[in-house]
Every structure is written in structure tokens, then in C-alpha cells.
Structure 1
């Protein structure tokens, strides 16, 4: 039977076929050489059921085509339309030099029919992931230009930005929509998406291998705390670091887009708490892009609730202390290689906690006493506190996942494992996310 990844991608193609014809561009055989579908067949639900019963001689992607896949002109026009809706991004894309580079990388993309097919499927089946890819491609090219990278490296950055999350098309459909409260098995599945994306890019004839490497490493961090390979800075490419930075930015943009023109400043505040996990040159280039954007002239209308900020701050403080205690115990009791990542993330989290002030009673006193008649600077302080709480929450999520992996690897007695798991359960991040 066809494997789960191909099964999930096949299901996405069947859904695409309801809007655009998905046609086999060559005959499809199983591994025993038996003809399953002839060339020119439309991939509807009935025919897909035939494929699902067999292991295929060739990957399904190589055997089908979409009636109207996205060409260079369509992509170029959409990229510019997308950028116009984001003032900060538009400020760095609306110039002749950038537009010339953008045309070149779009023409490079058009050389690869499999890329056109896959991007079209993303656009029709996983709209938010498609938007993330569009942003990463646009911002990635801007950062690469700031770093004076070569055209081949800029092309690699563009393609890696577009397709860094394409692996989600091969995962269980419900994972496309879920944003938090993942089970341990779901986290393992999610963390496979860079590997799946690299496998897809590896089957694109003529595509530089560096692009697949950049994608597999876009969740890696210079301190070795990323995934899936836990490699350190000297093993990570510049392109993958650029995509890592753009991925971080667009992830946070989805949180702050309701703040309108002020979202740009909030993204910069979020990026500042992650300055020690990217190459310094990439971090500096990204922050320069933010500073080139025009400052907002509108007054902040939407502000976080002081009561919710206080409640969340107290919860994060308790969870941080629980995480610190558990990390110390695991360091003593575990020889797992993952413990190194736990230590690094714990150290980074401690720095973020100090910089954010959530452990300082003075900040809680200020939140308690600040009145309804606040100055613009006080209003912005509330927003910054909210952003910093989000970043600390994200780091706690990452740390909890790592500690869970360490606990799974322990050969301790039942009582000790029960204690570790009980402490882990106290880090109730689902509750914190909803505050």
C-alpha cells in the first residue's frame, strides 16, 4: 500500500482536482510493473483509491500535472500584491534593484515544473502555509541582498523560503490547522516536516542540492537547540539561517497583525529576544530591514488587557520555576545527547526572563498601579510586555518538548519517572496560551 506521506499528498491532489484538473502526465505503474492509471487520466477520488492500494514505481508528484500551475509572471505579480499589504515589507521591496532581483528568481522558479505543481497545491490546500512561504521568500531575498549574497544564493533563499514548510502537505490533514496543545506523537510528526520537504526537493531534476539542505536546517539554531538534526552554528548554512529568521518573523506576524501598522514594531521587539540563536550577520540584516520601514503615525487603539497580562505573568513565572527545577534534575540524571539542548534552551530562557522583567516585582507593581489615563509610552510598554510574554511562552514550549524527549529516554525507576512526568505536567502551557 502507498505510504502515509504519499497518501496524504494524494488526498490533497484529489481536493485540488475539484478546482483544477489534475491529470497524469505519464502512465502510473506499481512496483511490480502493473499499470494502474494510463497517461491522461484525471485524478479523481475513485482513481486515487486505486493508487492507495499499491506502492508506486515512481513518486506520485512526478506522474501528474495541474491544468494551470503558477508561472513566473503570476507568482511575480502575486508577490508584489502581497507585499503591498504589509507596509514594513513593502518599504524594502518597492525599488528597482529589488524588483530586478525578484524577476530573476521568479524566472529561476519557473524552470522546475515540480515546484510549480507543488506551490499551486500549497496555494489551494494550505493557504496560511502558502502565505508564510510567500513572506519568507520576499523577506529572505531582502535579507540576502543586504548581505550581498551571490545570485545563486539569493535564488536558493527564494526557493527555500517558498517551500520550507511544504512538508506539511504530506502530514495528517488535522496538523495543518492545529497551532498548540500537540501530543508527543504530533510533535514528532511535525518535526519531520523539514525532512519530508528535503525529500520532495531532492526529486526535482536539476534543482541545486543546497536548497534542500537549507530547508532541512531551517529549524536548526546556532546553539544546537533546533531540530531535526540538532546541529550547531558551524554546520548551518547562511541560507537556512535567513529562512529561520523569516519563519520566526512571519509566525509572530500572525499574532500581531490585528495591531495594523504597529505590528512591525512588535515583530522587531520579538526578534530582539531571539538575537542569540541566529548568525549575527543575519540578525543584523533583518533588524536593518525593520528600521527602513516608516514609523507608524497612528495611535495605538488596541491594547492588551492589564488583568490578562498580570494573570499570564504569574503563570509564566510559576512555569519557569518548574521548568528550571526539572531541567536541573534531568541534567543530573540523564546522559541523553538531548540534555545539551535542554541546557542551552534553559540558559536562553533564563536570559529572556531577566530581559523581560517578568520575575521582577517592580514590573508587577507597575502593572497593578498603571491607570486608565496612560501616556503613549506607557501604552507601548504594555504591548512590549505582551510580546515578551509570547516569546517566553514559545521558549517554554520548545523546552518542554525537549525535556519530554529526555524523560522518554531515561531508564530510571518508576517512582522517579513518575516524579519527572508530574513536574512536566505542571508546565501547563495550554492554559498559558489561552490566558
Structure 2
């Protein structure tokens, strides 16, 4: 374990509550005396954890991180993962057709996954208290391995990819669970905390485990994008590791497949919508999967409405980009950085729009599959336009920029153009 685990000496209230609740289902004991920074013993070595520990540790600063001071005696093991991955592959998951061709490789890979005691503790707590998060981790393990296998990556890389998939969201345990609820609208401060979870997970792995540095790095990168529009650090191009690039594809796919019909087509479209946003190497297996699925038929009313708005939205994108660039040129400091981020995102959206090559065609010349793509593109564009303000503001620690009047013309243009019909 890395000796510099200072960031975790103050017990996180959300992780502490999860671990405390887990002790009602699993046998968790102290692996050493739990002592606060003043030398007061709060819990004795080998004593089984009970909910009373929660009250003793609230707002306490410890001599050693709590996570490294507990062990679980009957929790998640490699055998557990093998059993559950087998059920996943043999079940009716939307991703089954990606998993089954490489089932042997996936099951062999999961048997090699090293479960550090800290990771075993946190996975066990998630399995008992936040089962949806645990299942997400299991599916990410399988998907990351499947993408590596379909791309003919070496076995050692496939095994590392599966480990990153298992661990990628481990930092979410340190986030207010209310912020993780599907469909919840987060304010800027809440989103800033949520967006930190990849960094938190990477710090935990770097400071508390002996996993190779590339594992923590990839965990930190799983929401990054090659064009610099991801988070938490807006990394660009070659700054992202191969494992991080793979995991960003896997995370996007997992976020799409359970939401709507035509999961394969939607995931494939999202990965290629903005050229250069995701690695083609890791997106390729998803595209192939989509090509082997039954063809999609667009909703006639939705497709017709989208086609009618093509020219209008193209003009709106041009106005938004021009406004963002002019506002950025007139500012400095934090406000300028915000406007520059907005201009960059809008340039990327215009590249995506132009790459489709459909907005100038007469409706009679548009094929059924193109109608489906247009409807998806309109939905994707409106979503992304609606999140530009949030995505450009949250990285700034000076919160006064949120109320900077000089940015108002940009926000007004985004609001009006984004809602144009």
C-alpha cells in the first residue's frame, strides 16, 4: 500500500455509512486497532464491526484510513465473480451477443483478477447495499474484456481491462448517493462532486492498493474523451491511456443499452456521432455488433419532425458557435476559459453535424436508416447543447464566474438556439 493515504484519513460520511450498513449482512472485523489522530482507540483489533462504529467515526480524523483497517471474512471472492459472470453471459442481457463469442476468454480472465483486501471490502459493501452499482461493475468487467477480445488485444491487456472495468466506479461510494439517481437534475455544485468520482477512485487505488499505476490511471480516465470534452481533467488525445480509451467506450455503451429500444444501433451511433471523440479501435466491436442486430425502423412522427428541423438547427449551431467565439475573444481569466470551452464543444458539434451530410438533402432522398440516424442526432444535439453551460462552468473553482454578466449573451444564445423549432 502507498504510504501517503492522507486524503482518506478523514472518514467519508457516505462510504462510512455504506460500510456500517454492510456489517449487518457480512462479517467485517477490524484488522488492526482503529485510532484517531490524537491516539484515542475507537475500535479494537479483531473486534467485529457493528453499526456503533459509525457513530464513533463521524467527523473523526484517523491515523490510518478506515478502508485499510477493516477486513471482510465472507464477502466477494474471485469465485463469486466467476459464478456471477457466468450467469450474466448465459442470461438475457442486452449485451449478450457481445459477450458470448468470447465467453471462454472472459471466464479465464476473471479468474486472474486480483482482489486486494480494500477492493474486496468495498465490492462486498456495494454488493449488499448498492446492488445496482455492483451489477454495473460486473457488466463493465465483461464489456471491457469483450471489447479487448473482439479487438484482438493481447491476453494480458484483456485481463487488465477487466480489472479496470470492475474498479472503474469505485469512487462513487464517496459521493452522495442522491447524486447518482437516474434522472435527477444536479445543480453545478452537485455535478462538480459527481464529476470527481473518477479521480477519487484513482486516488484510492493508488494510495491503498498495490495495483499497477496504469489501473488507477484508467479508472481516472473512464469519463474522458479524446477531443478534450470529458471529465474530470478534460484530457486530450494521446494524454489518454489505451485502457482509459477502452473504458470510456465501455462506460458510454453501458449508459445507453438499458435506456431505450435498439440498444446496439443507439450505442454505435453515439460512439461515432462526433468524429474523434472515441477510439475507433475500441468502438469497432460495438459497430460490428450493431451491424449484426435486426435493422431499426424509425418512429415516423419523430423522424419527420427531426427532418423538418434540420436547416433550422444548422443555423442555430452556427449562431451559437459564432457567439461563443466572440464572447471568448472579449474576456479573460475564468470567464474566458468558460467561453472557450463552449466554443470548442460547439465546433465539435458542428463537425458532427456536417459529417452526417444529411441536413441539405430533400426529404424524399433520405433513406429509412438515415431517418433513424437523424432522429438520434437531433436528440443527441439538443441534449449536448442543454449541458454546455454545466460542462463549461463546473471545472472552475471560482464560483463567481457562474454569475458573471459578461457570459449572459452566450447563455441566452444557447437557450434560444437550442430550443428553436
Q: Same fold (TM over 0.5)?
A: yes
Offset at 1:5?
A: 6.5
Separation in structure 2 between the aligned mates of residue 222 and residue 154 of structure 1, nearest angstrom: 21
Counterparts in 2 of 1:41 and 1:307: CA distance versus 1, 3 Å:
same
Offset at 1:142?
A: 1.8
The equivalent residue for 2:406 is: 416
Separation in structure 1 between the aligned mates of residue 289 and residue 302 of structure 2, nearest angstrom: 34
Q: Is the 8 A contact 1:13 1:43 kept in 2?
A: no
Matches within 5 A, 1:94-109: 94-95=100-101, 98-109=102-113
Matches within 5 A, 1:175-186: 175-186=179-190
SS at match of 2:29: strand
Separation in structure 2 between the aligned mates of residue 58 and residue 312 of structure 1, nearest angstrom: 60
SS at match of 1:23: strand
SS at match of 1:255: coil
Q: Is the 8 A contact 2:23 2:49 kept in 1?
A: yes
SS at match of 1:207: coil
Offset at 1:409?
A: 7.9
Separation in structure 1 between the aligned mates of residue 34 and residue 325 of structure 2, nearest angstrom: 55
Q: Is the 8 A contact 1:76 1:102 kept in 2?
A: no
The equivalent residue for 2:259 is: 255
The equivalent residue for 2:18 is: 12
Q: Is the 8 A contact 2:175 2:193 kept in 1?
A: yes
Offset at 1:416?
A: 2.8
Separation in structure 1 between the aligned mates of residue 235 and residue 167 of structure 2, nearest angstrom: 21
The equivalent residue for 2:4 is: none
Q: Is the 8 A contact 1:198 1:216 kept in 2?
A: yes
TM-score by length of 2: 0.82
- Once the two structures are superposed, residues 364-383 of structure 1 have per-residue CA deviations (whole angstroms, 9 ceiling, x without a partner) of x999xxxxxxxxx85x6665
SS at match of 1:109: coil
Which of residues 42, 46, 49 in structure 2 aligns to 1:40? 46
Offset at 1:227?
A: 1.8
Offset at 1:134?
A: 2.3
RMSD: 3.8
Matches within 5 A, 1:17-416: 17-86=23-92, 89-95=95-101, 98-256=102-260, 259=261, 262-291=262-291, 294-296=292-294, 304=299, 306=301, 310=305, 317=313, 320=317, 323-335=320-332, 336-337=336-337, 340-354=340-354, 362=362, 378=368, 383-405=372-394, 415-416=405-406
Offset at 1:410?
A: 8.6
Separation in structure 1 between the aligned mates of residue 19 and residue 100 of structure 2, nearest angstrom: 35
Equivalent residue pairs, number? 408
Offset at 1:131?
A: 3.1
Mean CA deviation greater in 395-404 or 151-160: 395-404
Structure 1 gap ranges (5+): 368-376
Separation in structure 2 between the aligned mates of residue 75 and residue 237 of structure 1, nearest angstrom: 26
